[in-house]
A and B are shown apart, each in its own frame.
Chain A
Amino acid sequence: MAVLNVNGKSLEANADPRTPLLWVLRDTLGLTGTKYGCGIAQCGACTVLIDGVATRSCQVPLSSVGRKKITTIEGLAQGGTLTKIQQAWVDLDVPQCGYCQSGMIMAVTALLASKPQPTDDDINAAITNICRCGTYKQVREAIHAVAKA
Chain B
Amino acid sequence: MTIQTSLGRRHFLVSGAAVAGGFSLGFRIPFDEGAAQAAEVKEVNAWVVIHPDDKVVIRIARSEMGQGTLTGLAQLVAEELECDWSKVTTEYPTPGENLRRNRVWRNFSTGGSRGIRESNEYVREGGAVAREMLIAAAAAEWKVPAGECTAADSVVTHTPSGRKLGYGHLAAAAARLDPPKQVKLKDPKDWKLIGKPLKRLDTREKVNGSQIYGIDFRLPNMLVATVKACPVPGGKLKSHDAAKVEKMPGVKKVVAIDGNAVVVVADTYWNAHTALAALPVEWDTGKFGDVQQDAITAMLKEGLDASEAFIGNKAGDAKAAIAGAAKKVEATYAFPWQYHATMEPMNATALYTPEKCEVWCGTQNGEAALAVAAEAAELPVAKCDVYKLMLGGGFGRRGRSDYVRQAVLVAKQMPGTPVKLIWSREEDATHCQYHPTTMCKLTGGLDASGKLVGLQVRISGQSILASLFPQSLQNGKDPATFQGLQPGGPEAAFGYEVPNLLIDHAMRNPHIPAGFWRGVNVNQNAIYVECFMDELAEAAGQDPLAFRLGMLKPKYATVLKAAAEKAGYGKPLPEGHHHGIAQVMGYGSYVAGVAEVSVSDDGTLRMHKITAATDPGYGVNPWLIDRQVAGSFVYGLSAALYGEITVKDGAVEQTNFDSYNVMRIDEMPEVAVALVPSGGFWGGVGEPTIAVAAPAVLNGIYKATGKRVRELPLMNQNLKKGA
Taking Cβ atoms with an 8 Å cutoff, the residues of A that contact B are: 6-7, 9, 11, 15-16, 19-20, 23, 26-40, 42-43, 45, 72-77, 82, 86, 89-90, 93-102, 105, 123-125, 127-140
Is B572's CB within 8 Å of the partner chain A? no
Is B211's CB within 8 Å of the partner chain A? yes
Residues of B within 8 A of A20 (CB): 270
Chain B min CB distance to A53 (Å): 19
Cα separation A98 to B205 with both chains bound (whole Å):
9
Number of interface residues of B (CB under 8 A): 70
Chain A min CB distance to B663 (Å): 8
Chain B interface mostly helix, strand, loop or mixed? Answer: loop
Extra inter-chain contacts (10) besides given A39-B656, A74-B25, A137-B671, CB under 8 Å: A6-B25, A11-B25, A23-B270, A35-B344, A77-B208, A93-B627, A95-B200, A97-B391, A98-B203, A134-B663
Identity of the chain A residue whose Cβ is nearest the Cβ of B690 in the assembled complex: A134
Identity of the chain B residue whose Cβ is nearest the Cβ of A45 in the assembled complex: B343
Residues of A within 8 A of B634 (CB): 131-134, 136
Is B483's CB within 8 Å of the partner chain A? no
Chain B min CB distance to A22 (Å): 8
Cα separation A129 to B627 with both chains bound (whole Å):
18
Q: How many A-B contacts at CB < 8 Å in the complex?
A: 210
Residues of A within 8 A of B390 (CB): 97-98
Tell which of B26, B66, B206, B657 touches A130, judged by Cβ atoms closer than 8 Å. Answer: B657
B209–A34 contact, CB under 8 A? yes
Cα separation A96 to B69 with both chains bound (whole Å):
10
Taking Cβ atoms with an 8 Å cutoff, the residues of B that contact A are: 18, 20-22, 24-27, 65-68, 199-200, 202-213, 215-216, 218, 224, 249, 268-271, 340-345, 390-395, 422, 424-425, 623, 627, 630-635, 638, 656-658, 662-666, 668, 670-671
Chain A min CB distance to B271 (Å): 7
Chain A min CB distance to B208 (Å): 5
Cα separation A105 to B216 with both chains bound (whole Å):
19
Cα separation A38 to B424 with both chains bound (whole Å):
8
Chain A min CB distance to B303 (Å): 31
B66–A102 contact, CB under 8 A? no
A9–B392 contact, CB under 8 A? no
Chain B min CB distance to A34 (Å): 7
Residues of B within 8 A of A74 (CB): 22, 25-27, 208-210
Cα separation A31 to B66 with both chains bound (whole Å):
22
Residues of B within 8 A of A89 (CB): 203, 206-207
Q: A95-B207, A136-B634 are in contact. Are A129 and B25 (CB under 8 A)?
A: no
Tell which of B21, B25, B208, B343 touches A37, judged by Cβ atoms closer than 8 Å. Answer: B343
Identity of the chain B residue whose Cβ is nearest the Cβ of A80 in the assembled complex: B26
Cα separation A84 to B468 with both chains bound (whole Å):
47
